Amino acid sequence: MRITGDATDLRTAATAAPQAETFPRTATDPADQRVVLPPGLLRLIVFLGGLSSIGIELAASRLIAPYFGDSTFIWANIIGLTLTFLSLGYWIGGRVADRRPDPTLLFSITAVAAFAAGVVPLVSRPILEVSLRAFDDVAVGAFYGSLVGVLLLIAVPVTLLGFVTPFAIRLRLHDVASAGNTAGGIYALSTVGSIAGSFLPVLVLIPLLGTARTFLVLALALLIPSVLALVLIRAIGPAVLGTVLGVVLVVVTFAGGTANIRPAERGTLLYETESAYNYIQVVEEDGARLLVLNEGHATHSIYDPDELLTRGPWDYFMVGPLFNPGAGAAAVDTDGGALLIGLAGGTVARQLTAAYGQVPIEGVELDPEIARVGREWFNMEAEAPGLDVVVADGRHYLRTRPDQRRYDLIGVDAYRQPYIPFQLTSREFFQEVADHLTPSGVAVINVGRADTDYRLVDAIASTMNAVYPYVFAVDVERYDNTILVGTMQPGTVADFAANAAALPDGVLRTVAERAISTGDPRPIDPGGQVFTDDHAPVELVIDQIIVDEARDREEQQ
């Protein structure tokens, strides 16, 4: 009978409703003075703490990107400081929990962390605008000081969220014999929250709501259970009410509409949006539309309805084939066509169409939002009817093409300003490009530089020379860029000049003559550093160029 009774008790316990959790305010609290919380509320705040800490880190990267970009340097700072703040929170939170293991204190801390997260976008805006002025004035110290200032803004919420895990372990730890199980369960739940925080902002919140409202969603996700717990504990006080009212004020402010994410540095802002990859602006200046991405210090596409040519790097892709002997206006034809890695707003596609007619052009663009902006604001498909827009990673697309199609021209212009993705600068990549070219096909890449600093140009040219026996450089007329052309054909600068002279009047001849008069077309001799997939220090080279250029400009002022 006793066995049957025990089994019945077990079945009853298994089907009973979850029991409320009780926690002492101090180690000596009697049972009738303990805090009673609904089942799972503490575990929920542990999960949301992990989610919000990583979510704030990712949202902070998007807050910073329109001003500072999202280079590996920026990410190293964001990740390093986030881990520093969390470590500080773990340490302080553990000490505080041992001295005062009170759930009231924990939920008060998470409520304050929610408020601090919610106001980050508001407080950061004036600091970020200082960074724009500092960049324009070449004040390197103020520029990076602004970056540190914004990163320190996330110190308060992230450090306070570091309190949650050790605090929750202390509250749930009733027996030393089960300490490992308790700690492991809490850390696992927090980590699951962090995993959710790695995907939710990037895949859902930022694309649908934007960066500022993502901070608010994360803040409210923390605030609502925190306030609920404090109400149940009957511990609502003036400080908590002030926190609630402050967050409500922020919500009302943003619900009424937000200002531009970042003001346009030039011209008139026509449109802005955020995608999973970029902050995108369309700006009008002198009757032309400019595509501006992220920190806005470079133009990625130009569309002028009255003038096709830009005197910028886009123009020069069309003249790449002219370095081959005997090339002319049919160097890119309907059999081969062109592949563009980094389509942006379609400026190069429109110009290739104007130069060679309605040839097939595959434009590969990683960001679908940029492709949409190109259609809506840059008229790219109407003026390049042979264009086929492909949303994909450029190198992956090239490597996995099932038909192994070969092109007359493969162009690469895939900046995440000021950096070229390293995987598009290596010897292995240029070999893959060569494998997809016709016998007379050319590889053309746009490379940024400083006024007189050609270190990156030289490195990429040397890398191309490891694959192509003939490599040529042409400096762009209007910007600090150099176009590099690689070919298997034994061409010369004299061939380029002869081909240009034999062309009929038109945009192709115009650009070729400009290249001769202002671009200093020249062959690249083999030798020098060669980038590989294993070692391509693109960021290091570019960072050195930027620092040296800023130092030189400061010395001249």
pLDDT of residue 484: 97
Q: Please, which pLDDT band fits residue 80 given cuts at 50, 70 and 90?
A: confident
Please list the residues that pair with 284 across neighbouring strands.
268, 289
At residue 301, the pLDDT reads 93
| The pLDDT of residue 142 | 42
CB atoms under 10 Å from CB of 30, counted, come to: 7
What is the H or E stretch that residue 441 is in? strand 437-448
**Residue 37 or 135, more confident:** 37
pLDDT at 276: 76
- Model pLDDT, residue 10: 38
Highest mean pLDDT among 85-89, 202-206, 211-215, 325-329: 85-89
Residue ranges of domains in the chain: 18-255, 306-556
**Strand pairing of 387-391 and 361-365?**
parallel
Polymer length in residues for the chain: 557
pLDDT recorded at residue 430: 96
Residue 315 clears pLDDT 80, i.e. is over it: yes
Q: What is the pLDDT of residues 140-150, one digit of tens each?
A: 444 455 566 66
Residue 235: predicted pLDDT: 62
Q: How many Cα atoms within 13 Å fall on the side-chain side of residue 378?
A: 30
pLDDT at 93: 92
At 540 the pLDDT is 81
Per-residue pLDDT band for 60 (boundaries 50, 70, 90) equals confident
pLDDT > 70 fraction of the chain, expressed in percent and rounded: 78
What dotted CATH number matches 306-556? Answer: 3.40.50.150
What's the whole-model pTM score?
Answer: 0.74
The string of DSSP codes covering 481-527 is EEEEEEESS---HHHHHHHHHTSPSSHHHHHHHHHHHHS--EE--S-
pLDDT digits (tens, 9 = 90+) for 109-131: 998 899 888 888 877 777 666 65
The reported pLDDT for the residue numbered 7 is 43
Per-residue pLDDT of 384-410, as tens digits, reads 999 999 999 888 898 887 677 899 999
pLDDT at 239: 55
Q: Is-contact 101 171, C-beta < 8 A?
A: yes
Q: Is 233 helix (H, G, I), strand (E, B) or coil?
A: helix
* Mean pLDDT over the full length of the chain: 82
When comparing pLDDT for 555 and 291, which is higher? 291
CA-to-CA dists, residue 365 to 62, 350, 392, 393, 395, angstroms: 20, 15, 6, 7, 11
Which of 23-32, 72-81, 365-374 has the least mean pLDDT? 23-32
Average of per-residue pLDDT across 483-492 = 95
Residue with more model confidence, 524 or 63:
524
DSSP 28-73: T--GGGSEEE-TTHHHHHHHHHHHHHHHHHHHHHHHHHHHH---HH
Average pLDDT on 527-551 reads: 82
Residue with more model confidence, 373 or 414: 373
Is pLDDT above 90 for 163? yes
- Whether the predicted pLDDT of 468 surpasses 90: yes
Please count the CA atoms within 13 angstroms of the CA of 259 that sit on its side-chain side. Answer: 7
pLDDT (tens digit per residue) in 232-269: 776 666 555 555 656 565 655 555 445 555 666 677 88
Q: DSSP class of residue 362?
A: E
Question: Both tokens of residue 42?
Answer: 């503490």
pLDDT at 542: 78
Residue 473 pLDDT: 96
Q: What is the pLDDT of residue 294?
A: 76
Distance of CA 142 to the CA centre of its chain: 23
* pLDDT given at position 521: 95
401 Cβ contact partners less than 8 Å away, ≥ 6 residues apart: 436
Phi, psi dihedral angles at 388 (to 5 degrees)? -115, 110
pLDDT band at 310 (very low <50, low <70, confident <90, very high): very high
CA distance 225 to 218: 12
**Helix, strand, or coil (residue 530):** coil
Q: How far apart are CA 264 and CA 284, in angstroms?
A: 10
Nearest to 296 by CA among 328, 273, 264, 271: 264
List all residues 6 or more positions away from 113 whose beta carbon is below 8 Å from its beta carbon.
Answer: 52, 156, 157, 160, 161, 222
The CATH number of the domain covering residues in 18-255: 1.20.1250
Domains 18-255 and 306-556 share a fold: no
